[in-house]
Structure 1
Amino acid sequence: MLELRRLRLLAEFARRGSIAATAASLGYTPSAVSQQLAALEREARLPLLDRTARSAELTDAGRRLAARAEEILTLVEAAETELSAQADTPMGRVVVTAFPTAAVALAPALAQSLGDHPGLTFVLRQTRPGDGVRQVQNGEVDIALIDDWTGKVPDQSPAVLEFFHLRRDPLVLVVPSSHRLSDPRRPVRLHELRDEPWMAAPPGEPSRQAVERLLDTVGGARPVPWEFEGLHTILSLVARGIGITAVPALALAAGDQGVAVRRIPECALAREVYAVTRKASVRRPSVAVTLRAVHAAARDAEPARPVPDPPPEPPSAAGPSGGA
């Protein structure tokens, strides 16, 4: 009989394309993955991988079984969901992973809301960009909170996943409270900030890419920001008067003293925030109640409130033309 855990490994190998990548994805050693796949071959009584000294790829039988493995794992989860749905009380362990700013912003509301369900064990983990969708697809977590700056992630993801839109999170300008732009009477003009000490996340981070797109609009040579890991580290440096930055508004939901937040004129840069789960999990009481709590927490989270823009200056009155 084919063992489910080994089928999950085969399905992940089909997605990743190598034993090393499969091991890294699931937290195993390459040797453990290789041994389990060899055991699956013995169960199937067919070679599933064509191995060489440096690589391995699926045989025709391996590809067919990997496709069936996805179907089998989805059916097993659907059966578990139907059984658990018979009980109205959410019970058991539900694991949520989130990008860091969402984890910090939403954790208090989630803990308070889900604390009303004593039979539920709630686990919230932080994850790196791009990992959440994969973790849900692999069954490592039940729900992932992800951010998408491209507007394409839901359309490019596997059909077994369900996406729930939580909110739009715009990019805002953050300056020290002692900065001239903390005065709401002063308009924000990006070109006047070209020579300011900008700070941003390291290259490759989605928020850094958004900041670079913003800085492309300041005119002249694009400022080169100082780099720091973690948006909360950057915000703490801004609060100390060391520089300025632009971050998604939700990054300030936990509260940051010593900074002023301004709307960026004519800036459409924003990320969409989603909750992702497997379609077969949506009806599980533990997942359903957690999704409702996530929706409520995202809706009620108080992102940074930008200092109001100054009122537009009235047009200057045209004086009478003089004549001689």
Structure 2
Amino acid sequence: MLELRRLRLLAEFERRGSIAATAAALGYTASSVSQQLAALEREARVPLLDRTARSAELTDAGRRLARRAEEILDLVERAEAELSAHADAVTGRVVVTAFPTAAVAFAPALARSLAEHRGLTFVLRQGRPDDAIRQVRGGEADIALVDDWTGTLPDEAPPALEFFRLRRDPLVLAVPADHPLADPARPVDLRELRDEPWMAAPRGEPSREAFERLLDAAGGARPVPWEFEGLHAILSLVARGIGITAVPALALAAGDEGIAVRRIPGTELSREVHAVTRGASVRRPPVAATLRALYAAARTAWPGPPAG
């Protein structure tokens, strides 16, 4: 009989590619993972890993069993979800991994919505979207909040995952409160801002790519934007009058003082915000309750600047 815990290790090994990475992801020691996979080989009665002095990789049989392991674990989770769906109380633990601006923007509404479930333990972590999706797929998290600037993320994801669109998040202009464009009656013309001290996320960040497209359409920015890690760090500098920026509207949800926010005419640059979970866990009461709370949080989070 193949043990479920060892099948989960095998599936995780296929995703991570090494015993060390599997151990780090699941909180085990490398020797423990190696021993459990060896025990699974004895249960399966075929070699599952091709080991060398420095590495290990799956055999053909190991890859086949790893694929079956994903299916088996999915069926087990679906069965557990069906059983627990009949329970009236929302109890247990739910872990959400979110990109930073969503974590800040949604946390207050989530805390209020989920407070009524006294038996629910809620954990909100911050992480990059690609890591968050891997955590959901591997069972380390129940829900991931991810942003998508391309509109293709749901189509490229593994079929075991379900995407729930929460909201559209447009790019907006943020300037110091004493900047001429802080006056909502003054039209926004990006061409007039080319020589301003622009600040942006580092190259390679999705928000930076949207930023570049915005300024390219206006003839580019001079000089090259200053780069800072983290949108909240950039906004704190804007509030101090050091420069201006263009960021997703949700980044302003914390209500930074000293900043005026304007819509950017003539652009549709935005990202989609999704909640991602395993299809097998959607009916679990704590996951279902958290998804409902996320929809409510997305509706009530900062809507963006007024028109003009």
TM over 0.5: yes
Query: SS at the partner of 1:243?
Result: coil
2:158 matched to which residue of 1? Answer: 158
Rounded Cα–Cα distance in structure 2 between residues aligned with 1:8 and 1:106: 31
1:317 matched to which residue of 2? Answer: none
Rounded Cα–Cα distance in structure 2 between residues aligned with 1:200 and 1:26: 35
Is residue 85 of structure 1 aligned with residue 85 of structure 2?
yes
CA RMSD of aligned residues (A): 1.8
Rounded Cα–Cα distance in structure 1 between residues aligned with 2:303 and 2:26: 34
CA contact (8 A) 2:198 2:221 kept: no
2:217 matched to which residue of 1? Answer: 217
What does residue range 245-260 of structure 1 map to in structure 2 within 5 Å?
245-260=245-260
Is residue 194 of structure 1 aligned with residue 194 of structure 2?
yes
CA contact (8 A) 1:215 1:222 kept: no
Rounded Cα–Cα distance in structure 2 between residues aligned with 1:136 and 1:83: 21
Query: SS at the partner of 1:11?
Result: helix
Unpaired segments ≥5 residues, structure 2: none
Rounded Cα–Cα distance in structure 2 between residues aligned with 1:91 and 1:56: 40
With structure 2 as the length reference, what TM-score do the two structures score?
0.94
CA contact (8 A) 1:216 1:222 kept: no
CA contact (8 A) 1:251 1:303 kept: no
Rounded Cα–Cα distance in structure 2 between residues aligned with 1:133 and 1:259: 33
Rounded Cα–Cα distance in structure 2 between residues aligned with 1:27 and 1:236: 36
CA contact (8 A) 2:98 2:129 kept: no
Rounded Cα–Cα distance in structure 2 between residues aligned with 1:299 and 1:98: 17
Rounded Cα–Cα distance in structure 1 between residues aligned with 2:221 and 2:193: 12
What does residue range 86-235 of structure 1 map to in structure 2 within 5 Å?
86-219=86-219, 223-235=223-235
- Cα deviation code 1:74-101 (max 9, x no counterpart): 1111121122112121111111111111
Larger radius of gyration: 1
Query: SS at the partner of 1:163?
Result: strand
Rounded Cα–Cα distance in structure 2 between residues aligned with 1:216 and 1:35: 55
Rounded Cα–Cα distance in structure 1 between residues aligned with 2:19 and 2:302: 44
2:284 matched to which residue of 1? Answer: 284
Cα distance, 1:209 vs structure 2 = 1.8
1:49 matched to which residue of 2? Answer: 49
CA change 1:30–1:245 in 2 (3 A) is: farther
With structure 1 as the length reference, what TM-score do the two structures score?
0.89
CA change 1:93–1:205 in 2 (3 A) is: same
Query: SS at the partner of 1:255?
Result: coil
Query: SS at the partner of 1:136?
Result: helix
Stretch deviating more after TM superposition (264-273 or 15-24): 15-24
CA contact (8 A) 2:94 2:142 kept: yes
CA contact (8 A) 2:197 2:244 kept: yes
Cα distance, 1:246 vs structure 2 = 0.7
Identity %: 79
Query: SS at the partner of 2:171?
Result: strand
Rounded Cα–Cα distance in structure 2 between residues aligned with 1:205 and 1:290: 28
Query: SS at the partner of 1:130?
Result: helix
Cα distance, 1:39 vs structure 2 = 2.7
Rounded Cα–Cα distance in structure 2 between residues aligned with 1:282 and 1:100: 24
Cα distance, 1:167 vs structure 2 = 0.3
Amino acid across the alignment from 1:108: P
Is residue 65 of structure 1 aligned with residue 70 of structure 2?
no
Cα distance, 1:33 vs structure 2 = 3.3
Rounded Cα–Cα distance in structure 2 between residues aligned with 1:216 and 1:22: 42
Unpaired segments ≥5 residues, structure 1: 310-324
Stretch deviating more after TM superposition (176-185 or 208-217): 208-217
CA change 1:278–1:113 in 2 (3 A) is: same
Rounded Cα–Cα distance in structure 1 between residues aligned with 2:148 and 2:220: 29
CA change 1:113–1:72 in 2 (3 A) is: same
CA contact (8 A) 2:22 2:33 kept: yes
Rounded Cα–Cα distance in structure 2 between residues aligned with 1:10 and 1:57: 11
